[in-house]
Amino acid sequence: MIKVFIDPGHGGKDRANRGPTGYIEADGVLDISLLLEKELLSTGAFQVGLSRRTDITLGLSERGRAAAEFGAQLFISEHTNAAGMVPNTTVRGTTVYESVDLKDEALGAQMSKSIAAALGIPDRGCHQRESVNYPGEDYYTVIDTAQDAGVPHVLLIESAFHDNADDEALLKSEAGLLKIARAQAAVICGFFGVKYPANKGMTVAEAIDIWAAAGVILDPDGMKKDFETGVFRPDRYSAFLIKSASFITNNKA
C-alpha cells in the first residue's frame, strides 16, 4: 500500500482565514482532504492518514511529525490562499510549495497545473520558500518538519484565493471542491503509477475531464462501451499520454 498523509491546514482555534462571503479556510480544506482521501481509497492502492478529521487545534510541527510517524511516502498540507488586499479583485489561482531540501518541482508543478485547469483559474506554479531567519531551511514549518523527519515527498497546496470573490465561489461549491480533490488524486495516482479513477459510475465526460486536468488524453469512443457496461478500465486504452517526463509516459495494455 502506498501511504499518503493529508494535512487539512488550520482548524480549532485557527479559524481567522475567511473569504468575503463566509468561506472559512479551516473548513474548506478539511472538506477537500476528506474528498481526496475518498478518491485515493477508491483505487485500492493507498493507505491514507489525516492530521485531523474534525475542527481541532494542531501545532505545525505536530502535523509534520505525524506524517513521518505514519510512514508517509507523500505529505500534502491543504490550504487556500489570500492576497491580503481588501478587496482582492485581481489575484486568483493555484500555487504549490515544495521543500528546499527535496526535488519535488515536477510533481508540484503538475499539481498546480492540474488544479488550476480543473477550476479554470490561473496556474501560479510550484515554488520554494526559504526561511529568512534560518537560511537553507523551509519557511513553512509544516514542510520543514515533515521533510526533516524523513518524508520523501512534501507539498503544501494553495488551491485558490479565498479572498477573491470568484475563487471563493468555487471553494464554496461542492462541485468545485470535488474538482480540486479529483485533480489532486489524478496527479498523485500518476506519480505512483496507479490507475485512476476507479469505477465509481461517473460519465465518460467526467472521467475525461479528470484525466485532462492531469495532462492525460483519453479516447472517448474507445471508452464508451466500457462505461455502458459499468466497467472503466483506462489501462486498456492506447491513448494514454502523461505529458510530464516525471510521470508515466507510455501506459498501454
pTM of the model: 0.81
Q: Is the pLDDT of residue 215 over 70?
A: no
Cell of 104: 519535488
Alpha helices in the chain (DSSP H): 25-41, 60-70, 105-119, 141-148, 165-171, 174-192, 204-213, 220-228
Question: Would you say residue 91 has pLDDT above 60?
Answer: yes
Residue 216 has a pLDDT of 56
| pLDDT at position 237 | 43
The pLDDT value given to residue 197: 76
| pLDDT greater than 50 at residue 239 | no
CA distance linking residue 151 with residue 154, whole number of Å? 7
> Is the model more confident about 224 or about 51?
51
Percent of the chain with pLDDT over 70: 78
Mean pLDDT lowest for which of 114-128, 149-163, 189-203?
A: 189-203
CATH architecture of 2-190: 3-Layer(aba) Sandwich (3.40)
- Among 112, 190, 211, 116, residue whose Cα is nearest residue 155: 112
